[in-house]
Homo-oligomer: A and B are copies of this chain.
Amino acid sequence: MSPTARTDLLLPADPTQRGIARELYALAKDQPLISPHGHVDPAILADDVPFPDPARLLIVPDHYVTRMLLSQGIPPASLGVPSVDGSAVETDGRTIWRRFAANWHLFRGTPSRLWLERTFAEVFGVRTSLRPETADAVYDEIAARLAEPGFRPRALFERFHIEVLATTESPLDDLGRHAKLAADGWGGPGGRVITTFRPDNVVDMEFDNWAANVARLGEVAGEDTGTYRGYLAALRQRRAAFIAAGATSSDHGHPTALTLRLDEAEAAALYERGLRGAATPADAEAFRAHMLVEFARMSIEDGLVMQLHPGAVRNHNRPLHARHGRDVGGDIPAATEYVHALAPLLDAYGNDPRLRVVLYTLDEYTFTRELAPLAGGYPALYLGAPWWFLDSPEGLRRFREAVTETAGFYNTAGFVDDTRAFCSIPVRHDVARRVDAGFLARLVAEHRLPLDEAAETIVDLAYRLPKRIFKIGEPL
């Protein structure tokens, strides 16, 4: 990548706007990274052992990459994606890498291309452009770096200038890695690596092994989850444990954004049907919806910021799920309704200044119609960064263009990388900062915002807003 490309990547081509965007980006680019939501395995940082080979680090676990290759007929097994059915998968890193490199053209115009290319160049210092013919050379360069001490996780964490990274754990997790991190001076409240409370596996009756998970929740929490009341007590107890491990937020991944206020007897009856294995899909949806309101109530009590990630149809690609399990690229978004769905929660707590809910979406066709009006009208609501399929230059740009006029900048929660790909974190944040610089530059060039206010705004978006909204480094 040429020096100009490094400077001007993703900035608008028009010289006036590019000039302004450069100035704005310069203010944002070195701000520390706040990563308040993501899926990095805390073991990486707790154990700080060297990363595996380039393919196992960068290709095998990246479902953006393996799904694109699958879409062109390259089976995940041939890319080393672990199977859950015992069938064989490719084990040779170099073979996997060559398959990936031979299909590099598929990624033209995608964020994966951008993330990987810049990770190669900027994290690993690779000077060779990836092409089918250079597969081995690039592989070898990265492999050599991975063997160096400076490329261990904690060293990279420092080099990436990450101020705080939140991982995501279920209430069944014993938080042992976070205890290790705290013991090493890396974790705990106010620490560099914190956790997030993600209770889907004990809330969603349609989750694999829900009843067993709930039983296990009781054991972990020392409560009797045989009753609904005990179940709530167990959840409260685990939230407290997560807060003690540094958590500042919870996260809820539901099929829809439905919320519902049931009285205790109704909720208890649903819960009991669930335990008996007699819950219908409608029961499961009602229970999830009710629990979102319960969690909002708990958030008002304990201060956790509440994140809602609705709208994914999980495991849509069923043969893929059967062979390789969850989270390997087989999920597809679906239309998501917020205005009626959130009304019960908002009626109860939407105007309560103690509640903070960050809303995400996979359905951008709600941006101006639903999400911006909601976030621009309720004190409790903030808009999370464009998520997953929308976490891309065009997606980020359309988000700003669509929501700013109704919600402003200050009802948005700042960039969230939401990634399990640790090495891609800096480039993902950098992409968001560049896109925001470009968007603000257009406002300045069209005389819609003075430069000094744009300058303040870009630093807010990059650093101050996510830190404040996610209560990073402050008491809940």
B13 x A369 contact (CB < 8 A):
no
B332 touches A72 (CB 8 A): no
Tell me, rounded to whole Å, the shortest Cβ–Cβ distance linking A457 to chain B. Answer: 6
A337 within 8 Å of B (CB atoms): yes
The one of B16, B389, B394 that contacts A401, using a Cβ cutoff of 8 Å: B394
- Give Cα A121–Cα B17 distance, bound, in whole angstroms: 26
Query: Could you say which of A53-61, A184-192, A259-267, A313-321 contacts chain B?
Result: A313-321
The 3 A-B residue pairs with the shortest CB-CB distance in the complex, in nearest-first order: A13-B445, A5-B447, A109-B404
Contact B13 A13 (CB under 8 A): no
Roughly how many angstroms separate A105 CA and B461 CA in the complex, as a whole number?
13
Which of B10, B313, B318, B405 touches A448 (beta carbons < 8 Å)? B10
Number of copies: 3
**Given A406-B389, A408-B109, do A339 and B346 touch, yes or no (CB 8 Å)?**
no
- Chain B positions within 8 Å of A378 at CB level: 70-71, 317
B-facing mask of A1-39, CB < 8 A → 1, else 0? 110110011111111110000000000000000000000
User: Cβ of A335 < 8 Å from any Cβ of B?
Assistant: yes
Q: Is the CB of A446 within 8 A of B10?
A: yes
Most buried by B among A317, A362, A406: A406
Does A385 sit at the interface, judged by CB under 8 A?
A: no
Q: Are A350 and B448 also in contact (CB < 8 A) when A364-B368, A405-B393 are?
A: no
User: Which B residue's beta carbon lies closest to that of A319?
Assistant: B351
> Is A330 part of the contact surface with B, judged by Cβ < 8 Å?
yes
> Distance in Å from the Cβ of A16 to the closest Cβ of chain B?
5
- A324-339, CB under 8 A of B: which get 1 and which 0? 0000011011110101
Chain B hits for A114, CB < 8 A:
448
A353 is an interface residue with CB less than 8 A from chain B: yes
Decide: B368 and A395 in contact? CB cutoff 8 A: yes
Chain B CB count within 10 A is highest, among A15, A317, A377, for A377
User: Is the CB–CB distance between B368 and A72 below 8 Å?
Assistant: no
The chain B residue with its CB closest to the CB of A318 is B347
Interface of chain A residues 90 through 135 with chain B (CB within 8 A) = 105-111, 113-114, 129
* Chain B CB within 8 A of A40 CB: no
* Residues of A bordering B, CB below 8 Å: 1-2, 4-5, 8-17, 67-68, 70-73, 105-111, 113-114, 129, 313, 316-320, 329-330, 332-335, 337, 339-340, 343, 346-347, 350-351, 353, 362-365, 368-370, 372-379, 381, 389-390, 392-395, 400-402, 404-411, 442-443, 445-450, 453, 456-457
Set B13, B369, B374, B410: member contacting A363, Cβ < 8 A: B369
CA distance A392 to B442 in the complex (A): 15
Given the contacts A370-B332, A374-B332, A4 and B105 also touching, CB distance less than 8 Å = no
- Closest Cβ of chain B to A421, distance in Å, is 17
Q: Once bound together, how far apart are the Cα atoms of A374 and B289, in whole Å?
A: 27
Q: Could you list 19 further interchain pairs (A-B, Cβ under 8 angstroms) beyond the known A10-B448, A70-B379, A317-B350?
A: A9-B446, A12-B13, A70-B378, A71-B379, A72-B410, A73-B379, A107-B408, A108-B457, A110-B406, A114-B448, A317-B351, A318-B347, A319-B351, A320-B351, A330-B377, A364-B368, A364-B369, A394-B405, A395-B405
Closest chain B residue to A353 by CB distance?
A: B73
In the complex, the answer to whether B409 meets A108 with C-beta atoms within 8 Å is yes
Q: Which residues of B contact A335 (CB under 8 A)?
A: 337, 369
Residues of B with C-beta under 8 A to A446: 8-13, 393
Query: Are B9 and A13 neighbours in the complex by a CB distance under 8 Å?
Result: no
Q: A8-B447, A71-B411, A364-B369 are in contact. Are A317 and B377 (CB under 8 A)?
A: yes
